[in-house]
């Protein structure tokens, strides 16, 4: 969403829209998610260099460590963005 000089990208996943699939591998999902964000930013005539805040939402906190090299490569120099890791609450009951 573009609002004046601000661009908001939210709710992005590792779904590959070209193949209509999502990988079982969390690192591949992280890579694809960032490609999806890059495409959304490009539509708004922006790049990752314009990003000022990043929040990562992961269902399992243990997934952060294997994904970190991918996230770090895409986000640029350390300290350029705020980064928060929030586990996504899950429910074991089926509705």
* pLDDT, tens only, 60-95: 888 989 998 998 888 765 555 555 565 555 555 444
Q: Taking 70 as the threshold, does the pLDDT of residue 45 lie above it?
A: yes
Percent of the chain past pLDDT 90, that is, above it, reads: 43
Q: Taking 60 as the threshold, does the pLDDT of residue 15 lie above it?
A: yes
The pLDDT of residue 86 is 59
Q: Taking 50 as the threshold, does the pLDDT of residue 38 lie above it?
A: yes
Give the 3-state secondary structure of residue 30.
Answer: helix
Give the 3-state secondary structure of residue 13.
Answer: coil
Task: Determine the Cα–Cα distance for residues 66 and 27; give it in Å rounded to an integer.
Answer: 7
Rounded-to-10 torsion of CA 40, 52, 58, 78: 120
């Amino acid at each position: 969403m573009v609002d004046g000089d601000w661009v908001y990208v939210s709710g992005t996943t590792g779904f590959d829209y070209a193949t209509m699939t999502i990988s079982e591998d969390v690192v591949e999902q992280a890579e694809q998610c960032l490609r999806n964000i890059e495409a959304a930013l490009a539509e708004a005539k922006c790049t990752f260099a314009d990003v000022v805040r990043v929040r990562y939402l992961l269902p399992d906190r243990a997934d952060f460590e294997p994904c970190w090299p991918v996230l770090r490569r895409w986000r640029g120099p350390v300290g350029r963005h705020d980064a928060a890791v929030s586990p996504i609450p899950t429910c074991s009951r089926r509705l």
